[in-house]
Structure 1
Amino acid sequence: FMWDYVGIVRTDKRLQRATHRVNLLKQEILEYYSNFKVSNDLIELRNLVQIAELIIRCALTRRESRGLHYTLNYPDTMDEARDTLLVPGNYASDAWAE
C-alpha cells in the first residue's frame, strides 16, 4: 500500500488513507505481540511499520513539492525549505495531531 498511497505523486487524501492502514497494522502487531512468541520476522515487521509511519507523517507535514516527490495538493516549491525531520521532543507536536 505504500507504493499506492505514499509514492512519488502524493495527495493528502491518499496519505490519510495510508495513515489509517498503518494504524491498523500497528494494532494487529500489538495484539500479536501480546498473544504469540516474538520472532525476528515480527520485530522486522514492527520496524517496517514504524518507518512507514514516519515517512507518511513527514509527507503530510511537507507543504510543497520537491524533487521527485510531487504533492498534488501543494504543487509549488517553497523558497525556504522546511525540514520534516522528527525529533523525540516534537514527535507529538500539533503537526502530528490526528
Structure 2
Amino acid sequence: MWDYVGIVRTTKRLERALRRITMLQQEIDEYYAHFRVSNNLLELRNLVQVAELIVRCAMMRKESRGLHFTLDYPELLTHSGPSILSPAIIT
C-alpha cells in the first residue's frame, strides 16, 4: 500500500494497487473455499477490504486535498462532495 497509495499518488499507481488487491482477494476467496476459517484469515480479509476501499476512494477523488495529493489532479476543487464508500457500494 505504501508504495502505491502513499501521500503522493498517481492514477497509474492506484490502478496497480487495485490490481494487486484484487489478486489478494482472489487468493483469500480460494482459502475460504478450501481451508478452515480462522481469526487470522478473517483479519486478512478485512484488511484487504479496507485497502480496496481506500484505493477506490482515492481513485474517485479528482483533486488534491490535505495530505491526499495526486500528481494527476494537483488543484483543490471549489466544490467537493463526500468520499464515503462502503463495501456494498463497490461490489
Give the AA of the match of 1:6.
Answer: V
Q: Distance in 2 between matches of 1:31 and 1:88?
A: 20
2:2 aligned counterpart, secondary structure: helix
Contact preservation (8 Å) 1:62, 1:82: no
Q: Quote the residue 2:9 is aligned against.
A: 10
How big is the shift at 1:88? 6.5
Q: 1:12, 1:23 → 2: CA distance?
A: 16
State the shift of 1:87 in Å.
4.8
Give the root-mean-square deviation of aligned CA atoms. Answer: 1.6
One-letter amino acid of the structure 1 residue matched with residue 85 of structure 2: L
CA displacement, residues 27-73 of structure 1 (integer Å, 9 cap, x when unaligned)? 00000011111100000000000000000000000000001110000
Matched, 1:31 2:37: no
- With the length of structure 2 as denominator, give the TM-score of the two structures: 0.94
| Separation (CA, whole Å) in 2 of partners of 1:88 and 1:25 | 16
Pair 1:21–1:66, CA change in 2 (3 A): same
Instruction: Give ranges in structure 1 of 5+ residues lacking alignment.
Output: none
Runs of 4+ in 1 over 4 A off after TM superposition: none
Q: CA deviation at 1:13?
A: 0.1
Shift of 1:82: 2.2
Matched, 1:70 2:73: no
**8 Å Cα contact 1:5/1:17 also seen in 2:** yes
Q: Supply the distance in 2 between the matched residues of 1:18 and 1:34 (Cα, whole angstroms).
A: 25
Structure 2 unaligned blocks of 5 or more: none
Query: TM-score, structure 1 length as denominator?
Result: 0.87
Equivalent residues of 1:64, 1:78 under 8 A apart? yes
Identity of aligned residues (%): 60
1:88/1:15 Cα in 2 relative to 1: closer, same or farther (>3 Å)? closer
